Amino acid sequence: MPPPDSEFIGHLKTLEWTRTKIERLSKQGALLPRDVERVYEGLYLEAITSLESYIEELFVRLLTGRGPSSGIVARVTFNSVKVARDVILGGERYLDWLPYEKTEKRAEAFFRRGEPFTRLENDDKKMINDDLLIIRNVIAHKSHHARDRFKKFAGNYPLPPKEQTPASFLRSKIDPDTTRQQFYIAEMARIMKQLCQ
């Protein structure tokens, strides 16, 4: 069974292929800008929800002895993935793993020192809770609060007004070869790799 980080990175690569194809079609005039922006938003939501899913997957694998276990000590172990999931869920139908504090708190109950989930640097936690979730929330919820938080967040960057919507922000370049979408996807991959070390 491949480790969760390689599965996650493979999934992110398929999202990048789609983004590249959409940009190519856009340059050929086959798509309207709003269509391209909707795809960007959809790809971003797919990436962030996948990050959350793979965090859960890693959590379960570690509890069942199927994950990278260097120095990781589970307080309780399970022979069955189903039983591990049932216990983690505690009667709920699903759990939120983000904001990241939710993962850390849950990890402290199941693993000694909460590791590996408590090993993330503060900058990585900030990346998840501030950058990644602010963008996710404005795309997914479109509430007044989410829009205000995003506007404040995007205002930290010297961007023209037309690049201060979520999709155009993700599509904007941080250098000639890299969109913000690519940057954030790469950050998700890097963080997942760190969790799996």
The domain total for the chain is 1
Of all residues in the chain, the percent with pLDDT exceeding 90 is 84
Contact 156, 187 (CB under 8 A): no
Cβ(140)–Cβ(45) below 8 Å: yes
Model confidence pLDDT, tens digit, residues 78-128: 999 999 999 999 989 999 999 999 999 999 999 999 999 999 999 999 999
Q: Domain range for residue 38?
A: 4-196
Say what the pLDDT of residue 14 is.
97
Global pTM value: 0.93
- Give the separation between CA 62 and CA 81, rounded to whole angstroms: 10
Q: Are 146 and 137 in contact (CB under 8 A)?
A: yes
Provide the mean pLDDT of the chain. 93
119-149 pLDDT per residue, tens: 999 999 999 999 999 999 999 998 999 999 9
DSSP string computed for 117-166: GGGS-HHHHHIIIIIIHHHHHHHHT--HHHHHHHHHHHTTS---GGG-SH
Contact (CB, 8 A) for 196 and 68: yes
